[in-house]
Amino acid sequence: MRARLVFENLKHRPMRSLLSILLMGVPVTLILALVGLTQGLLQDSQRRQQNTGADIIIRGSTASGVVSFSGAPIPEKVAARIEQLPHVKLAVGVLNHSIDPPLVITGVDLARFDRMSGGFVYKKGGRLKHPDDILIDEAYAAQTHKTVGDTVTLLNKEWHVAGVIEPGKLARLAVELPVLQDLDAATDKVGQIYVKVDDAANIDTVMRELSDLETGYKINTLEEYVAMYTPDKISGVKEFTIVIMVLGVVIGFLVVGLSMYMAVLQRTREIGILKSLGASKGFILTIIEAEAMLLGVGGTILGILMSFGACWLVRTVVPASIPMIIVQSWWPTAGLITLAGAGFGALYPGLNAARQDPIEALAYE
């Protein structure tokens, strides 16, 4: 009966209920979109690193965080030295140049990278043949509406699209290493070196050998490096997520507070009727709180649905820049945040309703 009363109350004023649900859904969408953006970016980066085929990665001594967008602190000859070590099969230096974060153009010796990773999968066109050739992945091609034979302008230079590659390996945009070194005035320098070991059982041995070289560079197995891809490692993301979550609680609190306050005012007489029937303060309070919780559940569901819409929109418009994903594990958190806001928001109007004088409430017009 209590459930019916709650449901019928919400149904009785559908526009107010729907607006409340919509407004409560917005912070849920914001939270899920932010988490989806962050996790999507990290997962995409992780996947592209894992698919390089490398076992160890060497970065410059000043490399901070995990998402390295540019910098060329390592002499290229270091890669040649590393390749001389026992059990090292291949060492491939690459150079990254940030063009529009998180988009990066990567310079790589394509022949050596093919040996390490098995090569890019060409969806259209083919390999780099000329200095102004560039490979773009399908996501970037979709975002910029470019295809083989088109020209793209990056780093103040016009590039000829030689091939469209399958995304998920090393880079979205790849050019020959010397070309990018020349553009960056980083001749014979690379930003990081990928090392492939002859046998996975020898990774520890090679790690020790690399440490013994005392280069001062940061050396990690690829497994360690990929595990470092967490939101905490991206400056400001954790704090921004907390801010959005707090905003979610505050918006939920305000929306439900105002909505339920109006509901209590509009239903003053009905509260008087319930009191005349012997409804206790607790009964009235639980009705108001239950209505708020139901709005919160509705807001959570709508917010989740809207996050699918946001994800579709982002992936359609900027699939290369923002590889957003749906993070289902955050649904309960977003729901709890909304319900907390709703519960607190309904408390004041609920207590007001519970404290109503039955005679005054019954006389309310």
Partner 1 sequence: MSEGPIIETRDLRKVYRVGKVDVQALRGVDLTVTAGEFLSIVGPSGSGKSTLFHIIGGLTPPTGGQVSVAGQDLSTMTDADRTRLRKRSVGFVFQKFNLLPNLTARHNIAVARYIAGNRGPLEADFEDVLLLLGVAQRLDHKPAALSGGEQQRIAIARAIVNHPAILLADEPTGNLDSENSKAVLEVLRGLNERLGQTILMITHNPEAAAYGHRTVHMRDGKIISG
Positions in the binding site for partner 1 (CB under 8 A): 1-2, 4-5, 8-9, 11-12, 269-270, 272-281, 283, 357-359, 362
User: 281-317 and 237-266 helices cross at what angle (nearest 10)?
Assistant: 140
Positive or negative, the CA dihedral 103, 109, 112, 118 is positive
φ, ψ dihedrals at 125, nearest 5°: 70, -150
CA 206 distance to own-chain centroid: 34
Q: Which two tokens stand for residue 257?
A: 């507070």
Helix (H) or strand (E) holding 197: strand 192-197
> Residue 47: CA atoms inside 13 Å, Cβ hemisphere, count?
12
Q: What is the DSSP letter of 200?
A: G
CA 272 distance to own-chain centroid: 50
What one-character-per-residue DSSP string does 268-292 give?
A: HHHHHHHHHTT--HHHHHHHHHHHH
Neighbours of 330 (CB within 10 A): 20
Neighbours of 118 (CB within 10 A): 12
- Alpha-carbon distance of 115 to 332, in angstroms, equals 45
Please measure the distance between the N-terminal and C-terminal CA atoms of the chain and give it in whole angstroms: 26
- Alpha-carbon distance of 104 to 134, in angstroms, equals 13
Q: CB of residue 255 vs partner 1: minimum separation in angstroms? A: 22
Residue with smaller CB distance to partner 1, 12 or 77: 12
Q: CB of residue 302 vs partner 1: minimum separation in angstroms? A: 23
Q: Where are the beta strands (DSSP E) in 40-87?
A: 56-59, 74-75
Specify whether the CB–CB gap between 195 and 88 falls below 8 A: yes
Q: Taking Cα atoms as reference points, which of 53, 30, 90, 64 lies closest to residue 240?
A: 30
